[in-house]
């Protein structure tokens, strides 16, 4: 039983780290590309509405 909890916590930590890395990379990309990426995102959301 305790083993399952340990594995679950380990997986949670792994997923959390991956999510943080993904957000960090996305933020870096936004800073690099600047306004062009925001323009693309805005036009993309407009098309889907």
With beta carbons less than 8 A apart as the criterion, state whether 29 and 37 touch: yes
With beta carbons less than 8 A apart as the criterion, state whether 30 and 37 touch: yes
Quote the DSSP letter at residue 32: H
> What count of other Cβ atoms lies within 10 Å of the Cβ of residue 30?
14
Query: pTM above the 0.85 mark?
Result: no
12-36 tens-digit pLDDT: 999 999 999 998 888 887 766 665 6
Query: Residue 17: what pLDDT?
Result: 93
Query: Residue 15: what pLDDT?
Result: 92
Query: Residue 14: what pLDDT?
Result: 94
């Amino acid at each position: 039983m305790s083993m399952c909890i340990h594995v679950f916590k380990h997986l949670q930590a792994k997923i959390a780290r991956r999510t943080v890395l993904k957000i960090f990379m996305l933020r870096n990309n936004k800073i690099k590309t600047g306004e062009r990426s925001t323009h693309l995102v805005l036009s993309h959301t407009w098309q889907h509405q």
